[in-house]
Amino acid sequence: MICYQPLLNLLVFVYNVVPTHDIGLVIIILTVLFKAITYPLTAKTIEAQKALKDLQPKMDEMKERLKDKKEEQAKEMIKLYKEHKINPLSSCLPLLIQIPFLIAIYQVFSVGLSNGNLDALYPVHINTLAFGFLDMAKPQWLLAVLAGAAQFWQTKMMLAKRPEIKVKAAQDEDMAAIMSKQMTYMMPIMTIIIGVNLPSGLVFYWFLLTILTTLQQLIVMKDKKKPEVEIVK
């Protein structure tokens, strides 16, 4: 993979530069750096999600008004997207672009924390003990739980309540809404289950990245409280 070798070189370089040679500090530095690199893409994703969230009351009203006219619903939906310059796929595309980068990071930390494959490439042996007590090469259930808690916080933020709108269609939860609520709990549980079987260095990285992404989301999504939207029929 194109990103893998440069990122592995960067891991070894940062480890050598950090005076304490603490792998925990190295992971913090690299996570902040990786987050800075992907910040613009993540911002586009969050902005697209915010635009869809702000448009939701109008979509609910339209669905109620045209509840028996599915074809007109689809046309009206496209019209709404065009009027507000929203591309529904724009919230997914930046994530897809980041996937190869995230896979490369996963591989880099896997190799860097195992040392076995490093010895043949670099004249360095990485001490996997972080902060003097935490072995980043071994699974740590506490870090997995913290990563799951951070995932829960991020998911709850993404599913923040939309403006209330007094039409029947908006009050009835559709299948998508039910699935979204289930994901609020399923994603953190999956993070914990997977995390307890991974080297804690990878889980620590994921925990830090989730915290930074959630903080970014708070900044982008911050907006003045909007008044309740009421549809007069």
Residue 37 confidence (pLDDT) above 80: yes
Instruction: Using alpha carbons only, give the angle 34, 36, 39 rounded to the nearest 5 degrees.
Output: 105
In total, the chain counts a number of residues equal to 233
Q: Which amino acid is located at 114 in the chain?
A: S
Name which residue leads in pLDDT, 73 or 28: 28
Ordered by start, the domain boundaries in the chain are 4-221
Name which residue leads in pLDDT, 168 or 141: 141
Amino acid 38: pLDDT? 84
Q: Which residues of 51-88 are buried (b: 16+ CB within 10 A; e: fewer)?
A: bbbebebbbbbbbbbbeeeeeebeebbeeebeeeebee
Residue 20 confidence (pLDDT) above 80: yes
pLDDT 10s digits, 127-155? 888 998 889 888 899 999 999 999 898 88
Stretch 48-65: mean pLDDT: 77
Residue 165 confidence (pLDDT) above 50: no
pLDDT 10s digits, 76-117? 888 888 887 777 666 666 667 667 777 887 778 777 777 666
pLDDT 10s digits, 184-229? 788 889 999 999 998 888 899 999 999 998 898 888 777 544 444 4
Amino acid 147: pLDDT? 93
Nearest to 114 by CA among 138, 144, 142: 138
Strand partners, 229: 165
pTM of full prediction above 0.85: no
